[in-house]
Amino acid sequence: MKQLYKYLFAAVLILQLTACNNNTDAEQLFQDTPTARLNKQKSELNDALLSSQYGWKTVYFTDNTVLGGYTHLFRFADDGTVQMASDFDADTATYKSEYAIQVGSTVSLTFTTKNRIHLLSDSDNYPIPALRAKGYLGDFQFLYYGQENGEIIFRTNRSNQELRFVKATAEDWTELPKNLLMEKNVIGGEERPLFRLLETNDGTTTHKFDFSFTAVTRFANSNSIENGYSVSYDMGIGYTPTGIVVSPAVEVGGQKLSNFTYNDADGSFTATGTGGVSAVIEYTDKPLVLTDDYKFLLPGKPLSWFGFFVDDYTIDSPTNSPLFYAELEKVNAALPAGQRIASIEIYANHSIGTFVYYTFVGRGALQHHVTVQEDAAGKKAILKHKSWNGNTTVATPAFLASIDKYFMDPEGIYVKAESFRLFYSDPVYTFTSASSPFRMTTWKLN
Query: For the segment 238-291, what is each residue's pLDDT rounded down to a tens digit?
Result: 999 999 999 999 999 999 999 999 999 999 999 999 999 999 999 998 888 899
CA distance 329 to 312: 17
pLDDT at position 16 is: 52
Q: Give percent of the chain above pLDDT 70.
A: 93
| Residues 62/138, Cβ–Cβ less than 8 Å | yes
CA distance 168 to 151: 11
pLDDT band at 97 (very low <50, low <70, confident <90, very high): very high
Q: What is the DSSP letter of 87?
A: -
Dihedral pair phi/psi, residue 10, rounded to 5°: -65, -40
Residue 232 has pLDDT above 90, yes or no: yes
Dihedral pair phi/psi, residue 315, rounded to 5°: -65, -25
| Residues 211/196, Cβ–Cβ less than 8 Å | yes
Pairing of strands 95-103, 413-417: unpaired
CA distance 51 to 49: 6
Tell me the mean pLDDT in the region 409-428. 95
pLDDT at position 286 is: 87
What DSSP assignment string belongs to 242-261? TEEEEEEEEEETTEEEEEEE
Q: Name the 3-class secondary structure at 314.
A: helix
The secondary element (H helix, E strand) that includes residue 341 is strand 340-350
Residue 13 has pLDDT above 90, yes or no: no
Outline where DSSP puts E strands in 168-303: 195-202, 206-210, 212-214, 219-223, 232-240, 243-252, 255-263, 268-272, 277-284
Outline where DSSP puts E strands in 253-339: 255-263, 268-272, 277-284, 304-309
Whole-model pTM: value is 0.80
| Residues 73/224, Cβ–Cβ less than 8 Å | no
| Residues 417/306, Cβ–Cβ less than 8 Å | no
Instruction: Report the length, in residues, of the chain.
Output: 446
pLDDT at position 373 is: 98
Helix and strand element counts for the chain (H, E): 7, 25
Cα 219 off chain centre by: 2
Query: For the segment 305-333, what is each residue's pLDDT rounded down to a tens digit?
Result: 999 999 999 999 989 998 999 999 999 99
Q: What is the mean pLDDT of the chain?
A: 93
Own/partner long-range contacts of 112-116 (Cβ < 8 Å, ≥24 apart):
115/82, 115/84, 116/72, 116/84, 116/85, 116/86, 116/88
Q: Which of 46, 51, 170, 58 is nearest to 99 (CA)?
A: 46
